[in-house]
Amino acid sequence: MQVNCKRYGLYLLRWQASTPILAGVGVLLASMGQWVAAIVANLIGGLIFFWVDQFIFTSQSLAAQWEVKENITCADCGKVARGYRLVRSGDYDKSSDRAPQFRCEECSKKKSEQLRSKGVKVH
Digit-coded pLDDT (tens) for 113-122: 888 887 777 6
Q: Model confidence over 18-32: pLDDT tens digits?
A: 888 888 888 999 899
Give the pLDDT band of residue 2 (cuts 50, 70, 90). very low
Spatial separation of the C-alpha atoms in residues 62 and 64, rounded to whole Å: 7
Mean pLDDT of 75-88: 90
What's the confidence (pLDDT) of residue 119? Answer: 77
Mean pLDDT of 1-11: 68
Instruction: Please name which of 50, 60, 48 lies closest in space to residue 21, comparing C-alpha atoms.
Output: 48
HEC profile of 8-77: HHHHHHHHHHHHHHHHHHHHHCHHHCHHHHHHHHHHHHHHHHHHHHHHHHHCHHHCCEEEEEEEEECCCC
